[in-house]
Structure 1
Amino acid sequence: MENRDPIYVWWDIQSCRLPYGYEPLRVHVAVKSAMRNLGFFGPIDYVAVAVKGWSYGDTLYRIETTGFRIKREYAWQSCSMFIRNNISEWMHSHEPPAVAVIISCDKGLGSLVNRLRVEGFKTCIIYVPAFTSDRLISVPNFSLLWSDVLANAPLVDPREYGLPLREVRAEAIYVHPSQKSVAVTVGMDLRVFDLIENRRVTLVGKSRRSCRKDSTNTRVIRYGASGKFFVCASNDGWVNIWSAESWHRLHTMVALAIAIRSNDSHVCYADTRGDVWVVELDGIDECKVSPSNKTARLLFRSSSIVTKLDFSPDGRYILSADGDFKIRVNVFPKKPLEGAHEIQSICLGHKASITCIAFVWNSEVTERFLSGSDDSTVRLWDISSGSLLHTCDISTMAEYIEVNESEPPAQVKVTDMCTIPNSSLAIVAIQRFPGILLLSCTTSISIKKVIHIPGDSFIPTSISLSGSMKLLWMVSRPSNPPVSKHPGVTRVKAMPCIEAELSSILGDDQIPGGTKLLEQLQGKVPTEDCGECSTRSHESGNV
């Protein structure tokens, strides 16, 4: 006989995040399907808890459309506390055997879940393994992986809810400093191409635990300044460090943000609590995992979740951007394993999530950096004092942004940015803008040039400049829609940077690696989906 007991769901959005590109409309279907598979068919009440002031785009609106009640708290820790308090109150007004489903990585839930079971309630924890203790998942009646719950959900067409198809973006492109290889992420797919041997790279040492290609997205990729190391971070929190020569995995850790020092001596990473850790990379043997004595040491603590980490080009400072929209500059200590206790400056001014950081570092200008944000600004800062030197409002670019008539006016967001070495110029990519901006950054910021990319709409979602060849690599969003099960088909283009000036786009046969590189990095759409993808792309404004 089917169990018809009512089901109550609490979801901590901050600790159990959606993979990039995942349609939020699928979440309620995913949870409902998971509960049906466990034998529970009762009515479901959904509550999602988010951080007030955090930029979620249209995610919360889409979740709310499917029946979720949204609660906002002031900090990430407050989300966990709200869920605990709300469940405690819920227990007094509901009778067993109602079903409590908690989607969270809060390690402090163990005693509460145990109390629920003792009083006769059915309990289920849905969690991310990298951030959850074994003790927590052993307490409830059922425990499920968040990635598996999401992956097993049926597809949803947003148009059935009266909403436009959601834009799916290629996450990142990063080129080796000496242009020996180039890497692209598209959703769950990580593609690396060796430009020296002219072939696609096979990463050696993948494990099911750390590289679940079938259920999570690769979120961040980057090379160390020397090109010795390659780092990739997935949406479930696992970070892998690879040799960029043999492509063997050297080390695995859990992190939300990561940075490698310019001399490749240390790697720093931030966990879910806002703690930033440091690991020594000296002495890591090629083709082997790091020795057991390469343990992580606490470098410093942040008041909220760290979303970005980066070292200054000279390695003297480590910068962290957090969920409170501030940037903290720490002096990187001579003995980092003893902690970084000196805060150089705090940079305040952004009003939304900080998406990118780039350094203006040349013979005339040093100790300055740029930050881009969802608040439609690029800001120039002094590292030593934390002073805001200038703010460039890019909302004037709204007239160039591609939107559908059915969508609200587009908000101008900075998606990526890089600086041209030995100059005061920066290259900026903007959401939905089919081109790039060239900014001049000395004591102030000015738009030097607006560069439109000719031909079919090519909207860079990520850009990377090789240090040696002075070639700007760009990747655009996937062309297949979010309702397709097939890997994203993206587009890659390159543009020479000659004497700090951007030239014309290279043809496919002129790009290093040629058509073979493009075939490997861009992907292919199955023949049976071509017509459907073309139609939906046209309807959603995507190409």
Structure 2
Amino acid sequence: MAEAAGGPEEGEHSQEAEVSPALIAVHPLEKSVVVAIGSELRVFDLEGDKAISLLDNSGGPPHSGDVKAVAFGAEGNLFASAGNDKLVKVWATDSWSCIRSVCSEKRLSAVAISHDGHFVLFADKFGVIWIFSLDVGDDNASAEEKAVPLLGHYCSIITSLKFSPDGQFIASADRDFKIRVTVFPKRPLKGAHEIQSFCLGHTDFVSCLAFICAQDSGQAFLLSGSGDSTVCLWNFLTGCLLDTCEVGLKAGVLGPDREEQNQNTAAVTDLCAAPDGSLIAAIVQGLHGVVLMRCNFPGKSLNLARVVVVGNAFVPTSLGTSSAGERLWMAMGASDRSSRSPAAALTRLRVVEVLGAAAAGARVLEDGEVPGGRRLLGGLQGRPEVAGEEEELLAAAAEVAAAAVRDLLVKRQYSVENRELRKRSRNDRKQKQEQQHQRGRDLHC
């Protein structure tokens, strides 16, 4: 989540290069958990009760920049990571070996794997979604096996990519308040040209997406979180807004008089949901915990289930859950390349056990109760236990990361004079003027 096309801000660029939130991803069957912090991927095998050492036989370089997006495939047999080093890496989770590395021209902000496991999609920060095939000898693949453009958002940072439960649609969100739902084509390497709908209604950047599906009817819905401090429920086939949950207000982060407050200080920065909608969770900036919701499928509405406060020193930066939605995994931390503090490489994990249907109850597990116990915490946090002072440093770093992500996604407003000044200082304008001057000199010679 960084600069947009047409002239990134220097402040935006430097901030994003220095601070990146820790990410967490959970295997669909909760066989493993992955934490990304900076350029490091930490994997713990819950079935084998051991930390995993990654093996890279792809022939490509390792991650050297902050990892900004991670995703498991629908079946959990593939995992993808992408980030600031303009690199996408695909891992086979049976051996945790890298089977493919693809380089991009731009830094990356989102990644997804098609349901059949044949294609990997990634988004760059200039608004283009790219795709490449994992099938060797695929007739549709290019000879160089490079990524090709699939679709684009016009010069807007793409913040999230999610496949619908049946794999027939791909939803993409951006910082310009838009959600686009696109038909995933039968020959995706030829491009995706059929737009199913636009889901329009947020009043600030859209930060995260998730799909849920009613078990009885099989009807699927789309969830979205935004900088406007809301989570929305959509009929993504028609683009119709079904319900809006004011999570910032209901969590007590925002007061009733929203006009006198900076709404962006309560931005929804991450969202996850069990496929059946039994667990819907959202991170609201300013809340030392998480908001749990449930979907009333017959009424097509979102209801607040409860607010889980973890503690004053815990500021989550990322969420993950399995298909069953029995546990919610939360990561706190940030990679700060400008800091020499040991906490810059640490993360803090907490797990919420969901009790009963539709998140009727919830309990924050103690460290000894977490699946994998101390061994897991040691492998994923950077050390088994985080001391009180370090935990406070982690919380401060997490708040900085959340603020940095929010500030990068909020579009700045400029006066007419300022806009004209920025246009004149653009590198492409300078190059064009220099070329015109050179042609003029050549004509006079």
Confirm or deny a common fold (TM above 0.5): yes
SS of the aligned residue for 1:396 comes to helix
Q: Tell me what 1:193 maps to.
A: 44
Return the alpha-carbon distance in structure 2 between the equivalents of residues 353 and 205 of structure 1: 36
Does structure 2 retain, via aligned residues, the 8 Å contact 1:310–1:319? yes
| Structure 1: runs of 5+ lacking an equivalent | 1-12, 17-47, 64-145, 151-167, 402-407
SS of the aligned residue for 2:189 comes to helix
- Cα shift readout 1:421-473 (whole Å, capped 9, x = no counterpart): 323651112123112112233422232222222x5532221111112572211
Does 1:411 pair with 2:265?
yes
SS of the aligned residue for 1:509 comes to helix
The residue type equivalent to 2:109 in the other structure is L
Q: Which of 220, 223, 230 is matched with 1:367 structurally?
A: 220
Q: Tell me what 1:385 maps to.
A: 238
Counterparts in 2 of 1:193 and 1:291: CA distance versus 1, 3 Å: farther
The residue type equivalent to 2:82 in the other structure is A
Does 1:238 pair with 2:106?
no
Counterparts in 2 of 1:334 and 1:393: CA distance versus 1, 3 Å: same
Q: Tell me what 1:267 maps to.
A: 120
Shift of 1:200: 1.9
Counterparts in 2 of 1:303 and 1:511: CA distance versus 1, 3 Å: same
Return the alpha-carbon distance in structure 2 between the equivalents of residues 353 and 177 of structure 1: 28
| Structure 2: runs of 5+ lacking an equivalent | 255-261, 401-445
Shift of 1:344: 0.5
Counterparts in 2 of 1:461 and 1:395: CA distance versus 1, 3 Å: same
Counterparts in 2 of 1:58-137, with a 5 A limit? Answer: none
Return the alpha-carbon distance in structure 2 between the equivalents of residues 450 and 531 of structure 1: 24
Does 1:436 pair with 2:290?
yes
- Cα shift readout 1:77-113 (whole Å, capped 9, x = no counterpart): xxxxxxxxxxxxxxxxxxxxxxxxxxxxxxxxxxxxx
Shift of 1:358: 0.8
Q: Tell me what 1:499 maps to.
A: 357
Q: Which of 190, 200, 205 is matched with 2:56 structurally?
A: 205
Does 1:484 pair with 2:322?
no
Does structure 2 retain, via aligned residues, the 8 Å contact 1:367–1:384? no
The residue type equivalent to 1:335 in the other structure is R
Return the alpha-carbon distance in structure 1 between the equivalents of residues 124 and 389 of structure 2: 41
Does structure 1 retain, via aligned residues, the 8 Å contact 2:229–2:268? yes
Q: Tell me what 1:226 maps to.
A: 75
The 4+ residue runs of structure 1 with deviation greater than 6 A are 206-209, 479-482, 534-543
Q: Which of 179, 183, 186 is matched with 1:331 structurally?
A: 183
Greater RCO, 1 or 2 (C-alpha within 8 Å, sep 6+)? 2
Does structure 1 retain, via aligned residues, the 8 Å contact 2:209–2:271? yes
Does structure 2 retain, via aligned residues, the 8 Å contact 1:173–1:474? yes
Q: TM-score, normalised by structure 1?
A: 0.61
Does structure 2 retain, via aligned residues, the 8 Å contact 1:347–1:386? yes
- Matched positions, count: 379
Shift of 1:412: 0.3
Return the alpha-carbon distance in structure 1 between the equivalents of residues 251 and 324 of structure 2: 34
- Cα shift readout 1:38-72 (whole Å, capped 9, x = no counterpart): xxxxxxxxxx9547xxxx9xx56998xxxxxxxxx
Does 1:451 pair with 2:308?
yes
Percent of matched pairs sharing the same residue:
35
- Cα shift readout 1:253-285 (whole Å, capped 9, x = no counterpart): 224322111221322223454332332334599
Does 1:465 pair with 2:321?
yes
Counterparts in 2 of 1:278 and 1:349: CA distance versus 1, 3 Å: same
Q: Tell me what 1:309 maps to.
A: 161
Shift of 1:523: 1.4
Q: Tell me what 2:370 maps to.
A: 511
Larger radius of gyration: 1
Does structure 2 retain, via aligned residues, the 8 Å contact 1:169–1:476? no
SS of the aligned residue for 1:460 comes to coil
Q: Tell me what 1:175 maps to.
A: 26
